[in-house]
Structure 1
Amino acid sequence: MTSPVTVDLALVGGGGAASLVLAALDRKDLSGVRVAIVDPVHKRGQDRTWAFWGEPGSFLDPLLSASWAAVDVVTAEGRRTLPLRPLRYAMLRSGPLYELAGAAEQRLGAVRVTAAADRLDDDGSRVVVRDEAGTPLVRAGWVLDSRPRSPARSGRTNWLQHFRGWWLESDRAIFEPGRAVLMDFRTPQPARGVSFGYVLPVDERFALVEYTEFSPSVLSGDEYDAALRGYLALLGIDEAAVRVREVENGVIPMTDGVFEARPSPRVVRLGTAGGATRPSTGFTFTAMARQADRIAVEVAAGRPPLPGPAYPGRHRWMDAVQLRALDRGMVDGVEFFGRLFDRNPPERVLRFLDGTTSWGEDLRLMASSPLLPMTRAAAGDAVARLGRVVQAARA
């Protein structure tokens, strides 16, 4: 039997969160830190696309497929163009990030264990990563676990961001490369939830066109395809004039449930499993990048690799109230998001969704929302939280 690898830091799961950590460790030149990656699949190529906003000038710039200094929000009433400076909206495909992580892995001298991790046995001084048979794969001082999992405590509201996107190619110029559509609410709205389309053009002939819903349950494949065909018709694109080069699907939790970021003394969860997904929108990438940077700073300083909370506690509360208001039909989703962008500078809204706004900015955002229904939602959320406390005390 082969002896398990002994390392300082083990990354369980090799997707986006782990790739960002590897890149961050490499930027700090932490080649003296022993690292292992445990994943049954060595991630390569294009298996997903991340869209996010941030300031230009980061290490990600050379990897981007496209970026935009302004985006459009479209409703039945018309089109708003939102200037984003000093931010920009950016699109990153997975292939370049995996390549960057692979190069970082080599420079760091990391060990790759191509196996599925099952148990993480943490005795408080080290963690043994085992496979399904109980065979030890890695002994590590710390484990960063990015495998998907459900919340440790179920939410009071449990929605999903679910979507299908078509990468479309045309023989003639039909897209506007300098113009991205962030949200197009002209799509038929579900009975319970919010739907929208968006368009991220790489050039005049190649773009990602996607249909997204925020709602409690997913659709069938045929329903997503029908929604995308309907959206192409809204855009004035003849389906016969384009080719579907790739298809992307996704389901992301939108819940006020609690994800356990540190299930044992030396195991830290990353990505959605660690609470990096924003409950109000499903956005995850920027929080993962921020936490990866924090981990590298802590490791470089000789401290435990703790990323800190993905978002301030008050933002979690605001998201819970918003989800409750949408779920209970207290607010109309299209009107809510339209009003948010109408009454605030776009940069403020986007920074709020990234969890970087101040208390004062958060108060101004709350004041711009429909006050009566949101107050009712906040009161209902408070009652539900109190009910859980009472129930736990009686248990």
Structure 2
Amino acid sequence: MPVALITSEIEQLVRSGAPVAIGVSGGKDSQAAALATFRKLDQLGHAGPRILVHADLGVVEWDDSLPLCEELARHLGVELLVVRRKAGGLMERWESRWASSILRYATLSTVTLVPCWSTPLLRFCTSELKTKVILPELKRRFPRQVVINVTGIRRAESASRSRATVASPEADGRVWNWRPIVDWSEAEVFADIACAGLRAHPAYTDFGMSRVSCRFCIMSSLPDLRAAAAQPEARELLLRMVDLEIASTFAFQGAHWLGDVAAQHLGPATLSRIATAKEKARRRAAAESRITKPMLYVKGWPTRMLTDEEADILASVRREVCQFVGIAPAFVDRDSIHHRYTELLAAKAARGGVASSETDFHHAAL
């Protein structure tokens, strides 16, 4: 049986009785991480509090995810703390991000239209709905204590996670992140779950998926997306996500449209709307390609007034994009664009040259 990896810093905290919070999603890695962590804690004589923490992402969660976390908590004999983002789940976040994107484009607070979906490089689905919800709750629950936050990250999962360390502190030192199964193989993970007499998520055993997170994940492979779309419990969410693809003209996974992946589960009317949305997306991208590099967003945008030629380019692009996407046209001529840039530059100067959260749109999850 593989053992939990540990560092001297984590071992010292464990022996001192520091609180240990283990993040669980219902997936195999968090199950195995919890089991391995408890064995290591017992071995080291840990006498501090232990809890499991589940960040509920709302309608994007599989039906079995929370029950599996509850089963694991009963097996280990500890509390399961369930936390949620107050403003809603991940689907609501994607929808609100699109509404925000439209508003900022309409008011010329951004140069190009920004996608609604999270991406591998902008994973606000993790940062906002998990990290920013879990860590404050741990600090509130365990004031004036250093908390050990356990995650089931494994290096074999992806290229980015291949560089993961066994442990690392948060910037303020109040939380240490511990990754006890970072070097485990997938076979070792499943074997450990079976040895404990627990069931793995049915998405692995029944749906034929290789990983479990949201029903439709930005990191999912095409076979996993197809397997998810085939499940009756995912059908309502599928339709809602395809509707957002159509409204936004942005594919769920960059080049991969969820509507294409799940075409056999959609009616003729929806498929026709998807085809129209894809053509609008092509035309939007073609229009925005005319924007020159010096006109695009950089930190602290806007940095200068546009030339007349640049304002004419932006005006023509905005006229087309507003038409394709269904945004009320505004700032679609040279004079109004110059006037808007004058406002933005004046507001920036009044703040001492610091970009506002409004114009920092491209580097923020909104």
TM over 0.5: no
- Which structure shows the higher strand fraction? 1
- Which structure shows the higher helix fraction? 2
Alignment TM-score, normalising by the size of structure 2: 0.26
